[in-house]
């Protein structure tokens, strides 16, 4: 599969009517990803609605309920590619209360495109979108100032928005080179994939060109190797009578044959005997590899355990502090008990203290007694057993968790460990 094409994962964020669906439809159209039948459906629909232009937003507004109300209600995934790059777009809808959806979409993304309506400028929603991009430490943010056609392609309007946004960047953990500003018109296709003639004052790349040259880095690539065990493979066949393999994915760094390792939580030491990927034995498994590992001696390892290099032990704690985003209607209260799913491991967790609710507009925090849907807050937990983790800033995978309600089994919160 596309071995020489890189994969870039993008979350899009914008308020209602910022033209986000139109932009995605335009990207699909310009990269030839809208197929004849889909284009025909768009033409038919646009005509029915009496538009004199092609309404590309119809390419992504999927569900009947949404089309009736003219809104999008959940994260949709959209795919397109150029010769060099595969793109996955997590399109998150733009209601006022939509933190949950953007956090979800951003959790699997490396880049955020934040849309701003040139007529409205930087608004409260823009703060929230940028706050979440910052909280999840995305690799890059693209600020697309849209609807430039409606402000006569005026450079002054663009520069004002840019400087307003730059004031926000100062308050964040991003450095200036992680943020790119592009003035566009998604409807007219200006600076999306074609350089705008109307905005000759803009000298940068078009949006698509910019996305193609990005080299997003995942936090974990530079960190140490973590190997949570998903499944124990015991073939029990004649050929593999004594085979006991530990299947999982490498998060961060690499693991090599012969490495001295420690199995958590037992802190048993051993050595990597072999690394397998399907029928091949490999010397080294780099971050992102889904492989099977065998160890030199008989070690008791089961699902949820973690294999790490003995010289690179993670933190092990029975009490943790985390930033929480509430993604369910049920509020989080002090004393509540949940199942905490940390990667493929689960423990029981009790909410010990809600330290604060954090304002998503960079205006500080306040004391609260509960966190409601879409709230973000700082929470301390007591755990039934220690978990073995890295701070989120060092490893997104071992530094994050979800909380599961024991009654409904719903995922109610996502946490980023301090």
Q: Quick one: which of 10, 75, 151, 161 contacts other proteins (CB under 8 A)?
A: 75
Interface with other proteins, residue 272, by CB under 8 A:
no
Distance (Å) of CA 405 to CA 240, 329, 412: 40, 11, 6
Instruction: For residue 279, count other CB atoms closer than 10 A to its CB.
Output: 5
**Span interacting with other proteins, options 198-206, 208-216, 271-279, 378-386, rule CB under 8 A:** 271-279
Interface with other proteins, residue 62, by CB under 8 A:
yes
Distance CA 204, CA 213 (A): 12
On whether the CB atoms of residues 102 and 13 are closer than 8 A, the answer is yes
Q: Quick one: which of 53, 65, 97, 369 contacts other proteins (CB under 8 A)?
A: 65
Give how many residues touch other proteins by CB under 8 A.
78
Interface with other proteins, residue 47, by CB under 8 A:
no
Name the token pair of 293: 């590992």
Nearer of residues 8 and 184 to other proteins, judged by Cβ: 8
On whether the CB atoms of residues 332 and 371 are closer than 8 A, the answer is yes
Of 373, 411, 415, 362, the C-alpha closest to 126 is 362
What minimum distance in Å lies between the beta carbon of 182 and other proteins? 25
Please give, one letter per residue, the 3-state secondary structure of 283-306: CEEECCCEEEEEECCCCCCCCCCE
What minimum distance in Å lies between the beta carbon of 409 and other proteins? 4
Residues 309-368 that bind other proteins (CB under 8 A): 327, 339, 341, 343-344
Tell me the per-residue interface mask from 200 to 229 with other proteins, x by CB under 8 A, - otherwise.
------------------------------
| Total H helices, total E strands in the chain | 7, 24
Residues 90-119 that bind other proteins (CB under 8 A): 100-101, 103-104, 107-108
Interface with other proteins, residue 242, by CB under 8 A:
no
What minimum distance in Å lies between the beta carbon of 96 and other proteins? 17
Q: Quick one: which of 140, 226, 388, 396 contacts other proteins (CB under 8 A)?
A: 396
Distance CA 319, CA 323 (A): 14
Q: Quick one: which of 16, 88, 356, 373 contacts other proteins (CB under 8 A)?
A: 88
User: CA geometry: angle at 108 spanning 91 and 64, to 5°?
Assistant: 30
Q: Quick one: which of 10, 76, 148, 322 contacts other proteins (CB under 8 A)?
A: 76
Q: Which long-range contacts (CB under 8 A, 24 or more apart) does 47-54 make?
A: 53/187, 54/29
Name the token pair of 264: 């958590």
**Span interacting with other proteins, options 69-77, 172-180, 206-214, 359-367, rule CB under 8 A:** 69-77
């Amino acid at each position: 599969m596309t071995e020489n094409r890189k994969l870039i994962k993008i979350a899009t964020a914008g308020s209602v009517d910022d033209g986000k669906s139109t932009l995605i439809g335009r990207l699909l159209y310009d990269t030839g990803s809208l197929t004849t039948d889909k284009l025909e459906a768009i033409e038919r629909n646009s005509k029915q609605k009496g538009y004199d232009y092609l309404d590309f937003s119809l390419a992504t507004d999927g569900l009947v309920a949404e089309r009736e109300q003219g809104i999008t209600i959940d994260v949709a995934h959209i795919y397109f590619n150029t010769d060099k790059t595969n793109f996955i777009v997590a399109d998150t809808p733009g209601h006022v209360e939509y933190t949950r959806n953007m956090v979800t979409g951003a959790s699997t993304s490396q880049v955020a495109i934040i849309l701003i309506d040139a007529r409205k400028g930087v608004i409260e929603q823009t703060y929230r979108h940028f706050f979440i991009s910052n909280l999840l430490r995305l690799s890059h943010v693209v600020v697309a100032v849209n609807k430039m056609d409606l402000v006569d392609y005026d450079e002054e309007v663009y520069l004002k928005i840019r400087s307003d946004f730059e004031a926000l960047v100062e308050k964040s953990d991003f450095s200036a080179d992680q943020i790119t500003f592009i003035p566009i018109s998604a409807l007219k296709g200006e600076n999306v994939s074609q350089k705008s003639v109307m905005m000759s004052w803009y000298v940068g790349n078009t949006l698509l060109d910019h996305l193609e040259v990005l080299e997003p880095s995942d936090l974990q690539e530079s960190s140490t190797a973590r190997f949570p065990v998903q499944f124990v493979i015991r073939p029990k066949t004649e050929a593999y009578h004594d085979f006991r393999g530990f299947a999982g994915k490498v998060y961060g760094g690499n693991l090599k044959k012969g490495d001295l390792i420690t199995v958590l939580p037992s802190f048993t030491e051993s050595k990597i005997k072999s690394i397998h990927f399907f029928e091949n034995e490999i010397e080294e498994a780099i971050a992102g590899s889904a492989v099977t590992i065998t160890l030199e001696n008989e070690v008791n390892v089961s699902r949820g355990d973690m294999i790490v290099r003995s010289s690179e032990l993670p933190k092990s704690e029975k009490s943790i502090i985390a930033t929480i985003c509430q993604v369910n209607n049920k509020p989080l209260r002090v004393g509540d008990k949940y199942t905490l799913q940390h990667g493929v491991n689960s423990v029981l967790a009790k909410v010990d203290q809600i330290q604060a609710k954090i304002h998503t507009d960079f205006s500080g925090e306040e004391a609260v007694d509960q966190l409601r849907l879409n709230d973000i807050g700082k929470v301390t937990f007591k755990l039934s057993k220690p978990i073995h983790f890295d701070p989120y800033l060092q490893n997104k995978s071992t530094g994050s968790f979800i909380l599961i309600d024991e009654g409904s089994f719903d995922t109610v919160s996502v946490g980023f460990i301090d």
